[in-house]
Amino acid sequence: MTYADWFREDRLPHIYCVGCGNGTVINCTLSAVDQMGWEKEETVFVSGIGCSSRAPGYIVTDSLHTTHGRAIAFATGIKMANPDLRVIVFTGDGDLAAIGGNHFIHACRRNIDLTVVCMNNMIYGMTGGQGSPTTPPGALSTTTPYGSGEAAFDLCGLAAAAGANYVARYTSYHVKELTRAVRGGLENPGFSFIEALVQCPTNYGRRNKFRQVMDQIEYFKSHALLVQKADRMREEGKKIPDDMIIIGILARRNRPALGVRK
Amino acid sequence: MRLVIDERRCKGCNLCTLVCPYRIFRPGTTANRRGVIVPELDRPERCANCRLQRLYGRTLCGVCQMICPDQAISWEEEGACEPVKVAIEY
């Protein structure tokens, strides 16, 4: 069996724009699920509202397309009702960080046995490119036409501080590493949070000097810094440039998890 | 095994041209019936996965397949064919 068996062939091609990274993240997640050897009947995909949240509609398993920001709340309900189900949440940055922020931190605090894959495109892509909490400082969007003046949200730092068992960040360029990170999250009991930075050529890239799809992927490639190297640079007293994206497995611990059968 | 691009799914983002270590994918030149400029394959028999997937029993590189946002790249079985000499670049 390959990851392609998990797609609903009749629904493809999907509605994502040309070069959207969400499709890549779906590939990586399904590949990791496939490597785990799970049955389609015991896996549930949950999502909220947004570009990323259309993903479960292309997957053959049971899925829930829920209200904006409440994907984790619905997933908690599924997990508590039937702890035998494997629950995976697809969510976007506007869904998770903006409107569902409290659900997110409390799911981390409770340490429910979920795997949350956040496709962070740094903008509200579906509604026309408004600035989101993760829009980097200085980036242009329709609501920040002179450049975003606010600091961006560090979702991985938030999850690790709130008590998630497994926190990782990769980009849509690092497909093999992302697959491995999602697999680690699926294996790990407790709340696993994987942030995948994705390119949004339609609404983010064209306003921020990434005219081609490849430009933003090249940016991810050149600005990614592995967490071990970042730690080493800090020890040596070197300064890490502000625009670097720290990737890798950022937290892995063994707090008692909720929703796991004893 | 043979590398194929599904023209019904490809949207022409050219991400595959960026990641292939053998540079098998090249940006296309002509639009197809749907108006999508699908990448061209430059000697696809050089692909490591095409040659060695059967021998190793697993997908070897597969980065193009994973990064393709539209699930358009796959390997399909080939029928019987006469052996041809292939120059492999390292």
pLDDT at B53: 85
Domains belonging to chain B, first-starting first, are: 2-76 (3.30.70.20)
Closest CA to A126 of A155, A93, A89, A156: A93
pLDDT above 90 for B1: no
Type of residue numbered B3: L
pLDDT at A229: 94
Span A141-159, mean pLDDT?
A: 92
Is the bond into A13 cis (omega within 30 degrees of 0)? yes
In this prediction the ipTM stands at 0.85
Span A171-200, mean pLDDT?
A: 94
pLDDT at A76: 94
Chain B positions in Cβ-Cβ contact with residue A23 (cut-off 8 Å): 68-71
Report the distance separating Cα A161 and Cα A149, nearest Å: 25
pLDDT at A259: 82
* Triad A100, A103, A105: Cα angle to 5°: 110
pLDDT above 80 for B55: yes
Domain A43-252 has CATH 3.40.50.970: yes
Chain A positions in Cβ-Cβ contact with residue B69 (cut-off 8 Å): 16, 19-24, 27
Instruction: Summarize pLDDT for A208-249 with one digit per residue, the tens.
Output: 999 888 899 999 999 999 999 999 999 999 999 988 999 999
Q: Mark yes or no for CB contact B70/A14 under 8 Å.
A: yes
B15: contact with A, CB 8 A cutoff: yes
B38, B44, B50, B52: CA torsion to nearest 10: -140
Mutate to test the interface with B, among A11, A175, A202 (most CBs of B within 10 A): A175
Report the distance separating Cα B42 and Cα A19, nearest Å: 21
pLDDT above 90 for A261: no
Instruction: Summarize pLDDT for A94-133 with one digit per residue, the tens.
Output: 999 999 999 999 999 999 999 999 999 999 989 999 999 9
Q: Mark yes or no for CB contact A24/B67 under 8 Å.
A: yes
Distance to chain A for B81, nearest Cα, Å: 26
pLDDT above 80 for A262: no
Type of residue numbered B21: P
DSSP assigned state of A91: E
pLDDT at A162: 93
Span A187-191, mean pLDDT?
A: 92
pLDDT at A146: 93
pLDDT above 90 for A4: no
Q: Which residues contact B44 (CB under 8 A, 6 or more apart)?
A: B2, B3, B24, B50
pLDDT at B78: 79
Given pLDDT bands bounded at 50, 70 and 90, which one contains residue A192? Answer: very high
pLDDT above 80 for B81: no
Report the distance separating Cα A197 and Cα A10, nearest Å: 28
Q: Which residues contact A166 (CB under 8 A, 6 or more apart)?
A: A184, A185, A188, A190, A191, A192, A193, A249, A251, A252, A253
Span A77-89, mean pLDDT?
A: 93
pLDDT at A84: 92
**Mean pLDDT, all residues of chain A:** 92
Instruction: Summarize pLDDT for A28-70 with one digit per residue, the tens.
Output: 999 999 999 999 999 999 999 999 999 999 999 999 999 999 9
pLDDT above 80 for B80: no
**Mean pLDDT, all residues of chain B:** 88
Chain B positions in Cβ-Cβ contact with residue A16 (cut-off 8 Å): 69-70
pLDDT at A183: 94
Task: Point out the residue among A2, A16, A214 whose CB comes nearest to the CB of B69.
Answer: A16
Distance to chain A for B2, nearest Cα, Å: 17
Task: Point out the residue among B17, B69, B74 whose CB comes nearest to the CB of A20.
Answer: B69
pLDDT at B69: 92
